[in-house]
Amino acid sequence: MDNGRELPYDRLVYALGSRTADPGERAFTPETAAEPHKRLLDGPGELSVVGGGLTGLEPAAEVAETQREWRVRLVTGGAIGPGLSPKGRAHARATLTGIGVRIEESRTVARPEDLGSDAVVRAACHGRWSLGRPGGLIQAVRADDSPRDVVLRGGMAARVKEQVVRSTIHLLRPAARRPGAFAHLPGFG
């Protein structure tokens, strides 16, 4: 730190930040993260989500479930859900195709306009989505973050996710009001 003070940590995320080149009027990036919702309200069309990781699976599922008049496709350079176990990947694939998402694997996208969609979301830029109750998925992982062959699916997974979010918010509010009060907890010290 600037004052020479050292801070202990369990995990360090060194995120320098970046700016995305102008993606055009139909693509959305971190700088335009609030815009997709407005675009979805403008009327039906086709939305392409670029990225098959978790931040791609979730918005594809969310839009397909809540904006039924939109056609949704998920475009990824490799297989969907690369961080999931085979069971988790199979569940994600079945859930997405079951709600009408067209999956295009092993396809790279150089420019959003190459997709010919009405709207394009670069998924790595948008992390705050919900899979919804029918398709909820929690993937168990090992200490090194590699997936175990244990998954929790459906409504139970959605309820567990909601509880995790609520308990995190419940803990963060008092921690923000009283810095240092939770120093004994990992990540708060």
Return the domain boundaries, the chain.
27-173
Task: Give the tokens for residue 162.
Answer: 């909601």
Q: Which residue's structure tokens are 């419940």?
A: 170
Which helix (H) or strand (E) is 66 found in, with range?
Answer: helix 54-66
Does domain 27-173 fall under CATH 3.50.50.60? My reply is yes
> For 102-107, what is the mean pLDDT?
95
pLDDT at residue 162 greater than cutoff 90:
no
> What pLDDT is recorded for position 80?
93
pLDDT at residue 29 greater than cutoff 70:
no
pLDDT at residue 76 greater than cutoff 90:
yes
- Put simply, whether the predicted model's pTM sits higher than 0.75 gets the answer no
Q: Which residue has the higher pLDDT, 152 or 52?
A: 52
pLDDT tens per residue, range 38-56: 777 888 899 999 889 888 8
Contact in structure between 58 and 131 (CB atoms under 8 Å): yes
Task: Give the tokens for residue 134.
Answer: 């029918």
